[in-house]
Structure 1
Amino acid sequence: MGGFFSSTSIPSSRQRQQLPPVTALHSHPAAPTPHRHSPLARAGLGWFVLLVVYASLYPFAGWTDTGVSPFAFITAPLPRYNTGFDILTNVWGYMPLGMLTVLAVHPRITGWRAVLLALLGGLVLSGAMEAIQTYLPTRVSSNVDLATNTLGALVGGIVMVPFSARLIDRGGLRRLRRRWFEPHATFAILLLLAWPFAQIFPQEFLFSMGGVIRSILLDPSPDAFVVNLVNSWFPGLFDWQDKLQAHPEALQRQELLEALITACSWIGTGLLATVAMRRDAPVLRLLAALLAGALVVKGGATLLQFPASGAWDWLASGARFGLIVGSLVLVLLVRLPRWLRGALAMTLLIVLIILSNVLPPSPYSWVSAQAWRLGRFVHFNSLSQWIGWLWPFLGLGYLAWRAEQTQLQRRDSKRPD
């Protein structure tokens, strides 16, 4: 009997002396919450600064020294061409800068000092952009822009200060980040946050991304060798464009192509997201939120760009069919092993890049893109286009890095100690 209970027997007198008192186990105050920093907030702040620089100095051409001081705009008369929309856009545009600054400097700088730093950051960044715009004939430096941008950074800092400790130290984003995503998924999270904005610019088909090869490196028309190769596999694939006006079946073929590209892009993006998620994460709800966010952002941008048109005119029947089929397929594929989901995601993103560069553009896409460039957000339109062009390549890079890390971990686990 003694041997059976030896592991749970009553401790000896010497052992009792070494045990801590009962009051020490229950009466001591709770340990203070440790202060943490947020790498994601710091990375987001860096990317946002680059975004502001791009939007403020695009197209980076036509630099001219007119002899005017770059800081002459500060004391210049107030411009008369500013509208309420412009002022509101300037305030909203710099609010994320103030919010990200407060989150990025936590816990080293908190409270009113973090708000002051957000104010100074907005003032310095906006002042530098307005001063540099003096040398761009296509841009106009404005003291109103400087004031409204600084105000936006201040408002963003004030709004975020009460929530910084709650989000970073006591749970919030950090807890959700650890509960839903893998430890090294920061780059994937940034990609997923940028994916809805990659859909703003009107591509040839919904969710068509990666067309930078045809648009920048090659002639805008599809490459003849690739077209002949694809046409040998799928005869008549490129005939629908010439017969679009004369034959209704050509329009149906265009809808099928859009459904194919939309489903391919959405499934590949969704599988990439699942590779970065943990097994116990609410995968389907996160994917639904990602898709809903992309559609809302695209619809809202369309409505702001063209108030007279409908916000959902771009959601054609082929795109709707592709979204429905892609979502149903994703529900089935999320249960596959992680390595297989990663391989399928890489394959689909490669197919998406090929189709986006090979398929002839829709006859209506050129008109839509030209009108889009003349809209209110003219300096953000090219940025959204570049995001759509580069996103699948960045996604492929992440998936390749993730596959390499998995192989290295397996190799290390097989080595003898």
Structure 2
Amino acid sequence: MRRLVLLFVVLIVYGSLYPFAGWSEPGAPLFSFLFAGHVRVEKADLVQNVLAYMPFGLFMVAWLMRSTRFGVALVTAAVAGGMLSLVMEAIQQFLPSRDASRIDLVLNIAGSMAGGVLASLLRGETLAGPRLAALRAHWLRRGTLPNLGLAALALWALSQTSPLVPTLDMGQLRHGLGLLYRSLQQPQAMQVAQVLTYACYLAGLGMVARTVTREGKPALLLFGSLVACVLLLKIIIEGRQLSLEAIAGAFAAWMFLLLTSRMRRAAWIGIVLIGAGFVISEMAPGPDGMMYGFNWIPLVGQMRSLSGLQNILDIFWPFFAMAYLARLATPIGHRQPVVVIGTVLIGAVVFWLEWSQQGLPGRFGDITQVLLACAGWVIPWTFAGPDFLVEVAGKKTAARGAY
């Protein structure tokens, strides 16, 4: 967990100070931005500043709660996040391309605290925590692996609903339904690659849902409810649209999951489906028809707007989910070779796919995608703890083994 905290500190420093060029003497005192006048901030920027520090707070509190109380861990995470943000905002004054703001500082602290509260909810340490833990225990399996499976589902949902700025404005409602309306008017214009991508991804995630749901509970119904909620949210999230391709892909995935409800080897099937969905999405041409070169600078295309978060999640979650399923299916003694071989194989395949995009109209090859894919694969293997927790005579016992 400590390594993940350090990793996100490095990412925050990189994202805050990029492009590390054009350093110059600031024209105002170092901390004058704390007392500057009111600055108008877009809603998307508000969300971005909170989300940027949430993983830091999440992993910081999860790490500290191993040896201290939740309250102390939360305050420590908030102070650490605030100090890190203050230093970054101060240094940004030496970079003409960056703007220091006290609003960013406040939002970064809020993000650190929000991440910390989320960590406590997962452990049942707050007033709502025990209730949520009991509700979860009724429907879902417990242990390190189910936690990772739920994280994979949450990452997918977040990738589909970012920038997380809902609005009931009529303009957004028309925009959210406009693509679906036009597709229904001209169904021949539907993009088959997108349908296949949605179908493979959702069928694979359905396998993930099956592995985290307790025996005897309606896994398919729970997963279907999640997918329906996410698709409906696309209508009211700023910049998002509900598409006919998404609906068709979800229907195809639902039928596949119904037909394979009794099939074993759900983990391996899920890996194949999610991997196939990623390859299809990578090889599909883009909308503008332009040809682009290959970008060798990490995260340069992801830091310019909140849409960069969506791009990061779109690449990260499939490999996180595949790593979870692979860990689920691999006996404990054989996991280290799987991690190493999988990292090399994924790095090579994703690099080849990204490099090939130089010949695909409208696609943009990016080294960032390779790094995110490898990170998504490696991180789920780093979490310690028993694979599953089983309730026996009112006591928790650890259970391990392949699925």
Q: TM-score range by the shorter chain?
A: 0.5 to 0.7
Match of 2:327 in 1: 401
Contact (CA 8 Å) 1:188, 1:273: kept in 2 or not? yes
Deviation of 1:161 (Å)? 8.3
- 2:323 corresponds to 1:387: no
Residue 173 in 1 paired to residue 173 in 2? no
From the superposition, tell whether residues 199 and 44 of structure 1 become closer, same or farther in structure 2 (CA, over 3 Å): farther
Counterpart-to-counterpart distance in 2, 1:91 and 1:359 = 32
- Say which one has the larger Rg: 1
CA contact (8 A) 1:54 1:383 kept: no
User: 123-132 or 109-118: which moved more?
Assistant: 109-118
CA distance in 2, matches of 1:155, 1:391: 21
Which residue does 2:263 correspond to in 1? 336
Q: Give yes or no for the alignment of 1:265 onto 2:192.
A: no
What letter corresponds to residue 140 of structure 1 in structure 2? Answer: D
Report the equivalent of 1:198: 159
**How big is each residue's C-alpha offset from its partner over 1:92-119, in whole Å with a ceiling of 9 and x where there is no partner?**
5589579846666447544764553344
Calculate the TM-score normalised by the size of structure 2: 0.57
**2:145 maps to 1:145:** no
Q: Could you tell me which amino acid in structure 1 is paired with residue 143 of structure 2?
A: P
Equivalent position of 2:283 in the other structure: 358
Q: Does 1:324 align with 2:244?
A: no
The whole-number CA distance in structure 2 between the counterparts of 1:140 and 1:189 is 37
State the alpha-carbon separation in 2 of the partners of residues 405 and 62 from structure 1.
45
Pick the aligned partner of 2:219 from 276, 283, 295. Answer: 283
Supply the AA of the counterpart residue of 2:280: L
Give the whole-Å Cα distance in 1 for the aligned partners of 2:278 and 2:76: 42
Contact 1:342 1:399 in 2 (8 A): yes
* RMSD of aligned residue pairs (Cα, Å): 4.8
Cα distance change, pair 192–133 in 1 and its aligned pair in 2 (3 A): farther
Work out the CA distance in 1 between the residues paired with 2:330 and 2:109: 44
Partner of 2:149: 188
Distance 1:191 1:177, change over 3 A: farther
Letter aligned with residue 190 of structure 1? A
348, 352, 363: which is aligned to 2:273? 348
**For residues 194 and 316 of structure 2, what CA distance do their matches in structure 1 show?**
20
* Matching residue of 1:3: none
Q: Distance in 2 between matches of 1:106 and 1:114?
A: 6
Q: Which residue of 1 aligns with 2:40?
A: 82
| TM-score between both structures, scaled by the size of structure 1 | 0.56
Distance 1:64 1:398 in 2: 42
Structure 1 unaligned spans of 5+: 1-41, 203-249, 306-310, 367-376
**AA in 2 matched with 1:325:** A
For residues 99 and 43 of structure 1, the distance between their equivalents in structure 2, rounded to whole angstroms, comes to 12
Q: Is the aligned partner of 1:127 residue 2:86? A: yes
Q: CA deviation at 1:279?
A: 2.1
The more displaced of 45-54 and 283-292 is: 45-54
Q: Residue type of the partner of 2:224?
A: A
**Amino acid in structure 1 at the alignment position of 2:274:** L
Deviations 1:113-142 (A, max 9, x none): 455334413322321331343344432112
Question: CA 1:397–1:181 in 2, change beyond 3 Å: closer, same or farther?
Answer: same
After superposition, residues 193-342 of structure 1 pair within 5 angstroms as 193-200=154-161, 252=188, 254-295=190-231, 298-301=234-237, 303=238, 305=239, 311=240, 314-337=241-264, 339=265, 341-342=266-267
- 1:336, CA displacement in angstroms? 2.0
How many Å separate the matches in 2 of 1:110 and 1:364? 55
Contact 1:62–1:137 (Cα < 8 Å) also in 2? no
| Cα gap change, 1:353 to 1:106, in 2 (>3 Å) | closer
* Number of positions where the alignment pairs a residue of Structure 1 with one of Structure 2: 302
8 A contact 2:22–2:96 mirrored in 1: yes
Deviation at 1:267, TM superposition (A): 0.7
Correspondence for 1:57: 16
Residue 76 of structure 2 aligns to which amino acid in structure 1?
Answer: L
Distance 2:226 2:260 in 1: 17
- Identical counterparts, % of pairs: 20
Q: Hey, what's the Cα distance between the residues in 1 that align with 2:306 and 2:45?
A: 16
- What is the CA-CA distance between 1:343 and the residue it aligns to? 2.6
